[in-house]
A and B are shown apart, each in its own frame.
Chain A
Amino acid sequence: MRKMIRRCLCAAEAVLLLALAGCSTQKNAEKKPESVTLRAMQYEVENQAIDFQDLWYFQEIERQTGVHIQFEDIKDSEWETRLSLMFASGTYPDLILRGSLDVEEYGVSQHLVLPLDGYMDEGRLPNYTAKMNQETRERLTSSDGHIYQLGFLISQNVNTSGHFFINQSWLTRLGLSVPQTTDELLEVLRAFRDSDMNGNGVADEIPLEATFDDIITGVYNLFSFWGIPLNEEFVFVDEQGHMHFAPEEEGFLPAVQYLHTLIEERLLDVECITQGSNIWSAKINRGNTGMFSYWRLGNTALKPDVAEHYALMLPVHAEGAKAALPRLIDDIEFGAAISSTCSNVDAALRWLDAQFETENMLVSQNGRVGDTLKKREDGKYEVLYVPGDNELYKTVPVICGQFMAPSPWYESVYIPAEHRREKSRYCAVYEEAGVLESVSFRYLTNVMQKNAEESARISRLKTTLKSIIDQALVEFMTQGVDAERYARFLEELRDAGAEEYRQLYETIYHRWKGV
């Protein structure tokens, strides 16, 4: 009898729980949005903290398209690793946004991203297609004739990423002029180090601040003093079309020895070998840094009250050398790709294309119309002001969004903001001073077409070479280097295929140039 009652009660409880579960499910169901949801892997600049999920701009695009995106934010430093892991895992997001993507590998060879040229021809990316010209289309076309990516292009006549800035206030206080040679620079930096510039009685000044392996804030830019435009590919081409492998350049050994001196003398922040741009900017924002290289001063991670102390300077040059910084061109970066497993291609295309509608696109870079952006009577968009401290990233994705604005179309619709004009001015100065490499390395990396096999081989060789070079650089900078050690280093590089790497680039370059 007791057992029977227990059974009856169990049944009654089950009914009760089911009823409760039913209520809860209903409640949850009401919460769910009705729109299409896609997953996206989103690149994020290292020193920004962008909440893509709640960004006003993407909410607006969602409102226009009915497509909701679940963003997975990946920091710049982790992008390559996470991308490789993602493709290796076999589970792909619907969209890959910004950062970089080897479309030859993942598109042409592995077919893990969809070709988009068919959709363009069918008119399913009308806004995007309208902005492209023949040249951009050609540059985005892969070796198999298909286009696997949407490009990201801001035509703004920028010719270098790393301008040098020196603390003009300190120079003035010390009565020093802007250094022009490496020796003069050494003296100025020593003066910065020893003069308690911030007046706190502690020798905490950082005469020269940098990060490590990039061409905006990194020590790579310092090699320009010896005429070596060191970039992340370690190759550059001269006017005669000869391909150079940077570590083998004559100035490389004196350069690293100079860097060792800087570190040894506490003129260059030793933490440059491990810090990222967020730590870098945090340190500069403390207001006790003498010199650094950066994109520009206005509207960056630097606080305006700190930035105002700095002035542009030309790169110094070593004795007998002519300064040469890596040159930028209006190159097309990777904008977006749709994975082969995308759950709703129509929705993905709709969502992406909406961002190329002229006003949407300009807003994504400059903020809301009526807020920071104005639409003038002549139809052009004018930037009213740029909020400091990266405030723009709280509403719009800025450079992490989608953009396709080739010249001259861009000039016909947009009057750049002051900070852009600032950058243009710096670029003009450097161009005029002739401190940039003659042929941009971006032709090698972004423009000239490599086939999949070449692309893969270069990628493999580069990974090995970069590892050797960066580790050696750290060693040389922190522990010093002599000719013998340098010779061993070169031998190590040759063993790792440095010559094949250089020749491969040269062959492709010549083919592209029609030599």
Chain B
Amino acid sequence: MSVSRTMRRPSKVFLRYALSYLLLLMVVFSVLTAYLTGYVNHQVSDTLQTTQVNRLNRIAQQHNEYIDNMMHTAEQIGLSPYILPFSYEKEPWKAYDLQLQLMPYMATNSICDQIYVHFAGDDYLYSSSASMTTSLFTELMQYEHTEPDTLLGLIERVDHLTVLPSQHVTSTLMDASGQKVVTFILPLGASPKSNRGTILFLIKQEKYRTMFQDAIDTDLNTMIFFEDALLAGSSDLPVSDEAVRRCVAEGKTEMTEDGTAYHVLFTEPKEWNMRYVTVLRKSDLENAVHGAETRVILILSAVGLVSICLAIFLATRHVRPIREISSLLPNTGDSGTRDELQEISSGIQALAKSNTELTSRLSNALPMQRHAFVIRFIKGRFETREEAVHLAQQIGFDIDRKYYAILLAGIQEGEDAAEITPVQDATVLMSELVAVRANLYLVFSDRPDAPRELADALCAGLSDSGGHYAVALSGIQTDYARASAAYLEAATAYDNRFITGDGVLAYEEISHNMEEVLPKAQKLIAAISQAVVLGSSELLEARMAELVSFLKTTSMSPFAFRMIYNDVIDTLIREHAMELSTMQDAREMYNIFSLTSCQSIDDLNDLLRGLCQSILQSGSGKKQETQTEEDVISQVAAYMDAHFQDPEISMSAIAESFDLSTTRLSTAFKERMHMSPLDYLSLLRAEAAKKLLRETDMPVREIGVRVGYYDPGSFARRFKQITGLTPVQYRKGQEAGEGAEN
């Protein structure tokens, strides 16, 4: 694989990744931008228009309140028993009384500058400070745009609200002459139909404008129209009041003046025939919308930039492992025509295949197979002789011979472990036991002398190389099931090398007193087995103590004791296979190598005790425990039956008092009762509540408390979960049922 190729391949992959991400991002952002700008456009424009319309409605509302106030004053004055129509000519003193009556209205009103009352059919106007003929009034009150005759007509014949738009009024009757004044002319009394007369409210424009929370000033371009006439308000936009009036009258919402387009927002005339209008320059609205759009695009661009960086980062992260894999792959030679990723894929497949082959080869390697066979053999892991013979044949050894023995020989420096001295008519399998630093030889032959010949040959070979050269030999065996015992014999003999020195160490030669010891030991082994059967730890301890004291009376080496213990353990495993689930499990528990690593009787005792305890625990003890837990759950249920009304009852408290964990309690309870303890508790409470709902008039809230709920909400929720009805529905249902029965 050339360097340039290594570099080129991942760069292309990187580009493909980066481009894919970017394309995806572009699609997402394009859709998002299109949606958001459209949405913003609509939203901002809507918001601005809604704000304006809301403001107009607010002004309308305030205006109506003021008009209502005036109407109310007109009504009060019209209905006052002290203010009755009269003729000045005939009863002039009543005019004086009327002035006194009007004084409090004028002094306490905060809206109007002047109030005048006119009675139908009379030609006088009365205020708190002056009385005058209507003709004098129209003469003195010089309205800029309202002719005296028109004013006179309005004063004398008004059957509905009339408003004179804001205009200059020149008069000594006003506190400041030439001011702009808005004049409301209302019917006097509760109903225009009563035709009692009219009442005039004069409000200076300056004061009129401050009546509104949102002042009707130039900045806000707000105007109030009354019956298509501009009442008050103005605009700093270069649009004429007349143009706006026309636009509103025609119900148009857009207008153009001097080439500039405007939005005209207005309220529909409802009460008092007033329209509240505001004018917005279209370009101002568009600017606001574009501004908002620009901001959205800017924000999206910023997010987009971050996303591009993220895409590059992700692409880099994806490419890095590909680059590493790519550099490790064999060069297939046709990369120029194939896709890089496919190439990598096929490379990985090739690697996987070669790996499988390698594994297969390795597992099939003879030394490994031989070693595995040897270890399995000496651990006694073959069920039958035929199985062992068959497996040995598979790896090229014929072990179907009459005799066999196990040899252990020390490993010498520089020795070639595979080199086995040939023995006539014998099959020899060698394996290295690294833990005991020895080579193990399994010798199968129809001749009983063959193992000894091999031992001698090995000994001779070893002695040539200098240093220690001990070779241990087990007894000559025929039963493959005794392989573990044979290994122990060899190991015991091998351990004796420290006492006897180098040379061939035959087990038979060092175990001359074993035959005397073993029958006696067999009795003690049977006693231990019996103790296990009885399940008594004390008895077991006593039997084991007896065995130890017996063994100590013999003059056997500690290594020979392993043989005794091997027998004990073997017996126990066979007799208690039922308690230990399967024979296989039992054998797994016991490892011949752990026995050989024991250096003292106490070590052996510990090993034996451990096994016995396992048998005891996995056997009879299990049943007893199950029975106890069932009892506890019954007690827990009984406890809950008695205490469900206590709101403080909790699972953790119950678990603690029965010496169980909350989890264990929950699990055991479910096993036994098929529901969680909490569900059981809720069920108890619901049943009790049902009874109270049926049989008493007690309020639901109190019933909740009675059955153990502090909170009525929790009670209702749990009740509904269990019964499908709320407590109230349940009670109603019951009552209806009773009613039906009755």
Contact = CB atoms under 8 A, between A and B. Distances in A.
A73 interface: yes
Interface in B21-74: 36, 39-40, 43-44, 47
Contacts of B292: 12-13, 16
Interface string A80-99: 01100100000000000000
B107 A49 contact: no
B176 interface: yes
A471 B107 CA distance: 21
B173 interface: yes
A12 B88 contact: no
A5 B34 CA distance: 13
B649 interface: no
Interface in B176-218: 176-177, 179
A335 interface: no
Contact of A77 (B36, B92, B96, B129): B129
Given A5-B39, A279-B130, A478 B93 contact: yes
Q: Chain A: interface residue count, which band?
A: 35 or more
A271 interface: yes
A39 to B, nearest CB: 15
Interface string A34-54: 000000000010111111000
Contact of B176 (A50, A273, A281, A478): A50
Contact of B175 (A16, A75, A273, A478): A75
B738 to A, nearest CB: 50
B103 interface: yes
A276 B172 CA distance: 11
A12 B175 contact: no
Given A9-B40, A13-B44, A81-B107, A276 B129 contact: yes
Contacts of A275: 130-132
Contacts, number: 99
Given A273-B92, A273-B93, A478-B93, A75 B129 contact: yes
B93 A474 contact: yes
Given A12-B296, A13-B47, A75-B129, A278 B172 contact: yes
B103 A81 contact: yes
Nearest to B95: A274
Nearest to B175: A73
Contacts of B88: 270-271
Interface in A167-205: none
A110 interface: no
A431 interface: no
Contacts of B177: 49
- Interface class of chain A by DSSP: helix
Contact of A478 (B36, B92, B130): B92
Nearest to A49: B177
Contact of B93 (A276, A281, A479): A479
A484 to B, nearest CB: 19
Nearest to B91: A478
Given A274-B131, A275-B130, A49 B93 contact: no
Interface in A272-323: 273-276, 278-279, 281-283, 301
Contacts of B173: 278
B736 interface: no
A273 B96 contact: yes
Interface string A243-281: 000000000000000000001000000110111101101
A296 B284 CA distance: 62
B106 interface: yes
A463 to B, nearest CB: 13
Contacts of A371: none
Contact of A274 (B99, B139, B174): B99
A48 to B, nearest CB: 8
A275 B177 CA distance: 19
B96 A471 contact: yes
A78 interface: yes
B126 A274 contact: yes
A78 B43 contact: no
B437 interface: no
A49 B172 contact: yes
A78 B47 contact: no
Contacts of A281: 172
A475 interface: yes
A283 B136 contact: yes
A393 to B, nearest CB: 10
B106 A78 contact: yes
Interface in A447-490: 470-471, 474-475, 478-479
B175 A49 contact: yes
Interface string B289-300: 001100110010
A157 to B, nearest CB: 30
Given A13-B44, A13-B292, A81-B103, A271 B174 contact: no
| 6 closest cross-chain pairs (CB), A and B | A274-B131, A49-B177, A77-B129, A51-B176, A474-B96, A278-B172
Interface of B: 36, 39-40, 43-44, 47, 88, 91-93, 95-97, 99, 103, 106-108, 126, 128-132, 136, 139-140, 171-177, 179, 219, 288, 291-292, 295-296, 299
5 contacts: A24-B219, A49-B176, A77-B128, A274-B92, A478-B91
